[in-house]
Chains A and B, each alone.
Chain A
Amino acid sequence: AQSVTQLGSHVSVSEGALVLLRCNYSSSVPPYLFWYVQYPNQGLQLLLKYTTGATLVKGINGFEAEFKKSETSFHLTKPSAHMSDAAEYFCAVSSGAGNNRKLIWGLGTSLAVNP
């Protein structure tokens, strides 16, 4: 069965510092991978996704993620954190096929940005 592991339920960085949120997945087939962000008191929204092709994927708000098949990882990075990046971040992998397809979600990583 496919699964998603997000290392670190809480990450704290200083404003301007590098953001690195880790995601590892297990999948028996080439995966479709996603990062979603949830700002306080809001619904989730897509940050970026990997389907096929280029392994470095750029998303909104300066975030990017790199698909590394050999490491089964899809870590999310941003070179310089901004206060507005404080949010909950979810990694997800698409599992199954046809009507059985669904998203397998990680437990989320809460990002705090300190002034």
Chain B
Amino acid sequence: DTAVSQTPKYLVTQMGNDKSIKCEQNLGHDTMYWYKQDSKKFLKIMFSYNNKELIINETVPNRFSPKSPDKAHLNLHINSLELGDSAVYFCASSQDLRLGANVLTFGAGSRLTVL
């Protein structure tokens, strides 16, 4: 059973389209995250939710909208896709982001290519 699963694994789409990535965790964790990893492997946190409440909202264009229907799910919707949105998007979860020794469990990633 995959701990953090995200779908789809690959997305290829045209500029201007809207797309969603879904994430689910079965670890019973309270916190979920979205990270963006660019082609140079740089990791940037985008959002984090704790028990469905938005906690971290980094400087991300408002074309990106996360939604957490319950604490086991965190989806990412992207409007009006741009070339610069091409990246690998990782979902992660952890017991509680307020813990100092908080360990993240990552999904396998969703590779988005915008043409």
| Residues in chain A within 8 A of chain B (CB atoms) | 32, 34, 36, 38, 41-46, 49, 51, 88, 90, 94, 97-99, 101-103, 105, 107-108, 110
Contact = CB atoms under 8 A, between A and B. Distances in A.
Given A88-B41, A90-B43, A101 B107 contact: no
Contacts, number: 61
What does DSSP make chain A's interface, helix, strand, loop or mixed?
strand
A49 B103 contact: yes
Interface residues on B, range: 20 to 34
A53 to B, nearest CB: 11
Question: Main SS of the interface on chain B?
Answer: loop
A105 B44 CA distance: 8
Interface string B71-106: 000000000000000000010100001111111111
B60 to A, nearest CB: 14
Contacts of A94: 100-102
